[in-house]
Amino acid sequence: MLGREFKKNYIYYTRKESYELLNYIIRRFLILPFILFGVTVLVFSMIMMLGPYQRLSTYINDPAQLKGQDMDELVAKYGLDDPWYEQYGRWIGGVAQGDFGWSESAGQPVSEAIFSRFPATLELAVFAVIPVIMGGIWLGVLSAVHHNQKFDHIIRIISTIGWSFPTFVFGLMVLMIFYGVLGWFPPGRLGADAAAIVRSAEFASYTGLNVLDGILNLEFGVVLDSFRHLIGPIVTLAIVWWSYILRITRSSMLETLRKDYIRTARAKGVAEKFVINKHARRNALIPVVTVAGPMVLGLLGGVVIVESVFGYRGIGQYAAQAAQQLDYSGILGVAMYFSFLLILINLIVDVSYAVIDPRIRLE
Amino acid sequence: MEWKEILTRLLKNKLSLFGLIIILFFVLVAVFAPYLAPPRSPDEAYEIPRAGWQVEPQPPREGYPFGTAQGSYDIFYGMVWGTRTAFRIGVIVVGLSSFIGISIGTLSAYYGGKIDEFFMRITDVFMSIPFLVAAMVLTTILGKGLDNVMIALVTFGWMSTARLMRSQVLEIKNEEFVQASIALGASDPRIIFKHIIANCIFPVLIQAFMRMGSMVITASALSFLGVGAPEGYADWGQMITFARDWILGGQGSALKYWYTVVIPGAAIMFFSLSWNLLGDAFRDILDPKLK
């Protein structure tokens, strides 16, 4: 039995009725509160590993509150010696109102710190995700079509190396070559000139996304400058995740190309281009959707690294800064925030997967 | 296919042979570390010695084949002893997290029902915090340092193994040989260990190979972000932290301090690459149709 196939999560089931799909979606939504509850308990149990004094920072909203106060009194006031479930209740009440405490490293409440950096991270994510997904799929299909030819071999080697490359080392090298040597892609989010325009009174901030705001304000210098700063982080994220998507697309495409209906199409004399683009690729892409969840998981981690390598002021860079300075409330706030985001994205992925592929196992 | 045949095939495949050679090289470096880079005192073997008090990195020279990093830390010494650190992180983290993952995955799939539901929801919860962020939070809370990095990586690193193991066991559970041993009245532990785990361990093994590389990358990323190994500890990720302020070079040459980032970076890359190559080759052997 050692030769047992390494089975993929590719399952052939009889067609299910549409009410089963609805059933699945409802079930998926019903799980949601449990997951949310679980995550808050998980994060809270990490808070409880801290001592009462350290925990104080997650309750205070302004350091002025601490002035001239006795720490033990404060601990008693916020009930930090109470049983854990009472503390959990109070904490979750605050979190529900978006109150994550005071962030020492940012010098402002955690929720404000996250909120003010959100557009930067969103901008990076939006511009990174599209080239990563499209590029990865394109290379994967191409690699499968040229199976075992030179092109395929080169792509495979590059993707294995790319997948093995630590994001931060690659980012530092991009910085060294494209900024240090060539001076093309500087770190940070905006250059001094563009930043002055953005801060000026005439520049209206509609979305906080510099590229979009630049276009809306007809300040194309800002748009160009934003792109100059975005390319480094995007290339760094893309190299690692291209390799990932490429591999999955490639093996799925290879499997699909061996199916009977592809042979039938070819035998009928359908043009090869049509066979690949219409018949094979669509079906091959279904498993790619399933990895969207893990990919987002990895991308959010990658954002933390890339932002701190490039000094790009976003949520990820804030998380790294908070961790370095032992700013507990800051790092916990980011963790909660990222998990809510992840739960939401996973929900969307699961539901759309069930809609796309009727063969999905409806557990 | 038996172990011997798998090994022969691994040695025949150029890529996996290359991977094996790199791993062997790192193993040798780790084993012979005390001879390659003799520590000043055996108790402080993981403290990188400093060549002086100069802040600026110095290029490779006599006695310091890889040069010195920021603060005159000897890069060669750090690389050699960092190999031991990398293996320690990889083996401990992957070993423990795979053990947890295999146990949870097997129990949920074998017993099914409420146990399955319970374990899988816990898995979902642990997977709801991005891995790197979760590891960062736990390390920050437990206190900086490599041991705490390893605890954090194990705590948040078992879920993918659990899911893989569960799907494997679900498939194999209904096969005839398992049903037969149930019918013969074999005990649960016997069925689980003798029939189930033995027959679905290979995909998990492949995944473990891949995770050797990625766990070492994550641990070094945590060191780079400032929550991992303390300054001066022989750890590859920590070595790259030294390079951070010197990445843009200076005085006429942007690449002046290339050795501070390229050397430790290459070590991490090759370490991870070798395990990935091995994992890839393994998968090709077990499932030739995806080659």
Q: DSSP letters along A13-27, please? A: -PPPPHHHHHHHHHH
Question: Is A255's CB within 8 Å of B276's CB?
Answer: no
Instruction: For residue B245, give the DSSP letter.
Output: G
From the CB of residue A68, how many other CB atoms can be counted at a distance below 10 Å? 5
Q: Any chain B CB within 8 A of the CB of A319?
A: yes
Residues of A in contact with B223 (CB under 8 A): none
pLDDT of residue A64: 66
Question: Is B133's CB within 8 Å of A346's CB?
Answer: no
Closest approach of A226 to chain B, Cα-based (Å): 21
Closest CA to A125 of A356, A347, A341: A341
The model's confidence at residue B64, banded by pLDDT at 50, 70 and 90, is confident
Q: What is the DSSP string of B70-139?
A: GGGBBHHHHHHHHHHHHHHHHHHHHHHHHHHHHHHHHHHHHH-HHHHHHHHHHHHHHTTS-HHHHHHHHH
Alpha-carbon distances, residue B205 vs A266, B62, B99, B103, B192 (angstroms): 38, 44, 11, 14, 17
The model's confidence at residue A10, banded by pLDDT at 50, 70 and 90, is very low
Q: What is the pLDDT of residues A230-281, one digit of tens each?
A: 888 888 888 888 888 888 888 888 888 888 888 888 888 888 888 887 778 7
pLDDT of residue A178: 81
Class of domain B14-25+72-290: mainly alpha
Q: What is the pTM of this model?
A: 0.84
d(CA A267, CA A286): 25
pLDDT at B113 over 50: yes
Q: Write out the two tokens for A32.
A: 């949601």
Dihedral sign, Cα of residue B73, residue B76, residue B77, residue B83: positive
Residues of B in contact with A41 (CB under 8 A): 125
The crossing angle, in degrees rounded to 10, of helices B14-31 and B75-111 is 120
- Global ipTM: 0.83
Closest approach of A309 to chain B, Cα-based (Å): 8
pLDDT (mean) for B41-62: 76
Q: What is the DSSP string of A57-92?
A: TTT-S-GGGGTT--HHHHHHHTTTTS-HHHHHHHHH
Question: Is B225's CB within 8 Å of A300's CB?
Answer: no
Q: What is the pLDDT of residues A21-38, one digit of tens each?
A: 777 788 888 888 888 888
pLDDT (mean) for A62-91: 72
pLDDT at B52 over 90: no
d(CA A54, CA A322): 14
Closest approach of A43 to chain B, Cα-based (Å): 9
pLDDT (mean) for B83-96: 92
pLDDT of residue A271: 83
CA A234 and chain centroid, separation: 13
Q: Write out the two tokens for A222.
A: 């800002």
pLDDT of residue A124: 85
Residue of chain A with shortest Cα separation from B204: A6
Closest approach of A180 to chain B, Cα-based (Å): 5
pLDDT (mean) for B127-144: 88
Question: Is A164's CB within 8 Å of B249's CB?
Answer: no
d(CA B8, CA B29): 25
Residue with tokens 């399933």: A290
d(CA A327, CA B248): 29
Question: Is A339's CB within 8 Å of B139's CB?
Answer: no
Residue with tokens 């013969």: B184
Q: Write out the two tokens for A59.
A: 């309750």
d(CA B268, CA B236): 7
pLDDT at A126 over 50: yes
Closest approach of A31 to chain B, Cα-based (Å): 9
Q: What is the pLDDT of residues B167-193, one digit of tens each?
A: 888 888 888 888 888 888 888 888 888
Q: Where are the alpha helices (DSSP H) in chain A?
A: 18-47, 52-56, 71-77, 84-96, 110-145, 150-164, 167-174, 192-199, 210-216, 220-257, 260-267, 272-274, 281-284, 286-290, 292-309, 315-324, 328-356
Residues of B in contact with A258 (CB under 8 A): 289
**Dihedral of the CA atoms B222, B224, B228, B232 (nearest 10)?**
160
Q: What is the pLDDT of residues A209-235, one digit of tens each?
A: 777 777 777 777 777 777 788 888 888
pLDDT of residue A287: 73
Question: Is B167's CB within 8 Å of A9's CB?
Answer: yes
Nearest neighbour of B121 by CB, restricted to A38, A302, A335:
A38
pLDDT at A12 over 60: no
Q: By 3-state DSSP, what share of chain B in percent is helix, strand and coil, each rounded to 5?
A: 75, 5, 25
Q: Write out the two tokens for A46.
A: 């990490």
Amino acid at A320: A
Residues of B in contact with A334 (CB under 8 A): 133
Closest CA to B135 of B166, B97, B88, B82: B97
Give the DSSP H or E segment for A103: strand A102-103
pLDDT of residue B252: 62
Amino acid at A94: G
pLDDT (mean) for A291-300: 75
Q: What is the pLDDT of residues A111-122, one digit of tens each?
A: 888 888 888 888
Q: In this structure, are strands A108-109 and A102-103 parallel, antiparallel, or unpaired? A: antiparallel
d(CA A159, CA A248): 11
Nearest neighbour of A304 by CB, restricted to B129, B133, B255:
B133
Alpha-carbon distances, residue B132 vs A100, A257, B265 (angstroms): 20, 36, 19
Give me the residue spans of the domains in chain B.
14-25+72-290
Question: Is A338's CB within 8 Å of B130's CB?
Answer: yes
The model's confidence at residue A363, banded by pLDDT at 50, 70 and 90, is very low
